[in-house]
Structure 1
Amino acid sequence: MTNSAFPIAFVSHGGGPLPLMGDVDHRELVDACVQLRQQLPDTPSAIIVISAHWESRGFAVTAQSAPPLLFDYVGFPERTYRYHYGAKGHPELALKLRSALATKHIALRLDANRGFDHGVFVPLMLMYPEAQIPVLELSIDRGLSAREHLIFGQKLAAVLPPDVLVLGSGFSFHNLPAFFAPKNTKSVAACADFNAWLNDTLVDPSLTAEARLNRLDHWSDAPQARFCHPREEHLMPLLVCVGMAKAPAQALSFSVMGYGAQHYLWL
């Protein structure tokens, strides 16, 4: 069990809209999203998504009643720019979070213009296609400090209502040149080495919460860390989730475009 009253999940959201397009290299990811969804509540009061695709100075949250979709990818078929996900926003909850986090000495900026990027609408279209649950998107801090995101997760967990669902949306492996280069045994093995370290860190019940946080604070010392994450923005939502949960996770492993990837779940 987590130290919070709400479920937390981290999803590796795949490449742009490819999971929604029937792409064969994302089939396992889609199946893992369906499997993950079966373990999550049907009707949380709100879904809070921390997206790797929104970087801001400090932390920010969407604060409008009906955010549009932000098609923040290029070079895909025209139909992928006509997706619809009609979930409402939750400006009242955004205001409450800002006030509550201020008491924890965390500034949360309200953004009344931001739409839901593909780090939000792709996993939600797979997991909650009915779009009946209000959604808030949270940014990551563009400084990309591991410690700051772990601390933010700890503070956020202390102020959230007990009936929300938290989704971190990033990617456990995010080396774009490697995805599109010819596969070789060295690069696939490098990904496997980092994945093994990540799973040991997040899943091993013998690790204390303090040891887990310390390992993630120094994630770049892990085997093949900088090959798997030349830039670490896709890890930051995961660190927020770990900061919130503290307890060990369950891992759902699969393959995307020839490389191993994970979703993680804390119930």
Structure 2
Amino acid sequence: MTLPTLFVPHGGGPCFFMDPNGGPPDPMWRPMEDYLAGLIASLPERPRAILLVSGHWEESAITLHTGERPGLLYDYYGFPEHTYHLRWDAPGAPGLARRAAGLLNAAGFETREESERGWDHGVFVPMKVAVPDADVPLVQMSLRADLDPADHIAIGRALAPLRDEGVLIVGSGMSFHNMRIRGPQATAPSAVWDDALSDAVTDPDPVARAARVTDWAELPNGRFAHPREEHLLPLMVALGAGGGDPARRDFRDVVLGWTVSGYRFG
């Protein structure tokens, strides 16, 4: 069975885990938490592994984490002390990392391996919600630091065979990510951007879809939404891996005054 591919919002820092006693998050984050918590049950079958690309890891060449038991990288600042002791102890999947590297190499992309870096919060924060028992192996893949949208779509295309091998391909970022503006003043312009992005992402013609999303900065409020596009590029990978499958927006909400969405391909 072919698994879909996903682009998910990963929230803000450890937003779902701010209560040291394990209580629910701020109500603002509850719809996103509920969406993430339902991801695995929404799939046609439980994945044997996850390949995830986060907006928080960039390398000059696409790099795959080959560690067997990665630690966590608490790459956020100014949060309560207990959030720097969160755990998510899923195993790595070095065999999958090397299979993915082989597919990318065959498509002409340079790859590297890395085994020491911890999983950043673009990985463990959403996955701790989606897979709370940490019982699905995971490989993290970096972005390429040039942030070329067309190449990241092509990277996703190269990885598409993994979908038939029980691997869930996930892009983890934020569809809106402008840290300089928050609150009500962001909501209306971010909604205009979100509608334009969603129209491009869900274009029924996969060729037009890829072209329109490649030109994301030309969409209304594109650079307002992403002064720097590292949180959008994981969407390109998920879109590319989705191939010609139908695309839909399966999450939308307002957090921090930002209108944000999640997408599914297949």
TM-score in terms of structure 2 length: 0.92
Q: Is residue 8–residue 166 contact of structure 1 (8 Å, CA) maintained in 2?
A: yes
Match for residue 250 of structure 1? 248
Pick aligned residue for 1:60 from 60, 63, 70: 63
**1:9-49, Cα deviation, whole Å (9 max, x unpaired):** 11111111012221232122112223434312563111111
State the one-letter code of the partner of 2:3. F
In 2, Cα distance between equivalents of 1:48 and 1:159: 9
Match for residue 118 of structure 1? 121
1:34-49 matches, within 5 Å, as 34-40=37-43, 43-49=46-52
Give, in angstroms, the shift of residue 7 of structure 1: 2.0
Match for residue 32 of structure 2? 29
Q: Is residue 28–residue 256 contact of structure 1 (8 Å, CA) maintained in 2?
A: no
**Which range is displaced more, 56-65 or 101-110?**
101-110
Higher RCO structure (Cα 8 Å, ≥6 apart) = 1
State the one-letter code of the partner of 1:131. A
In 2, Cα distance between equivalents of 1:87 and 1:173: 28
Give, in angstroms, the shift of residue 221 of structure 1: 0.3
State the one-letter code of the partner of 2:26. D
1:227 aligns with 2:203: no
Percent identity between matched residues is 37
In 1, Cα distance between equivalents of 2:247 and 2:118: 30
Structural RMSD (CA): 1.6
Q: Which 4+ residue blocks in structure 1 deviate beyond 6 angstroms?
A: none
In 2, Cα distance between equivalents of 1:19 and 1:131: 16
Cα 1:258–1:28 change in 2 (3 A) is: farther
Match for residue 19 of structure 1? 16
In 2, Cα distance between equivalents of 1:160 and 1:97: 11
State the one-letter code of the partner of 2:217. S
**Aligned-partner SS, 1:196:** helix
In 1, Cα distance between equivalents of 2:43 and 2:121: 21
Pick aligned residue for 2:74 from 62, 71, 74: 71
In 2, Cα distance between equivalents of 1:258 and 1:248: 29
Match for residue 91 of structure 2? 88
TM-score in terms of structure 1 length: 0.91
Cα 1:257–1:73 change in 2 (3 A) is: same
In 1, Cα distance between equivalents of 2:246 and 2:196: 14
1:147 aligns with 2:162: no
**1:69-95, Cα deviation, whole Å (9 max, x unpaired):** 110111110000000111000112212
In 2, Cα distance between equivalents of 1:156 and 1:100: 6
Q: Is residue 202–residue 248 contact of structure 1 (8 Å, CA) maintained in 2?
A: no
State the one-letter code of the partner of 1:177. R
**Aligned-partner SS, 2:83:** helix
Cα 1:99–1:160 change in 2 (3 A) is: farther
Structure 2 unaligned blocks of 5 or more: 19-24
Q: Is residue 63–residue 112 contact of structure 1 (8 Å, CA) maintained in 2?
A: yes
Equivalenced residues, count: 258
Structure 1 unaligned blocks of 5 or more: none
Pick aligned residue for 1:157 from 135, 157, 160: 160
1:236 aligns with 2:239: no
**Which range is displaced more, 89-98 or 41-50?**
41-50
**1:161-211, Cα deviation, whole Å (9 max, x unpaired):** 5211111100001011112xx522xx3221011100111112243xx1111
In 2, Cα distance between equivalents of 1:46 and 1:120: 14
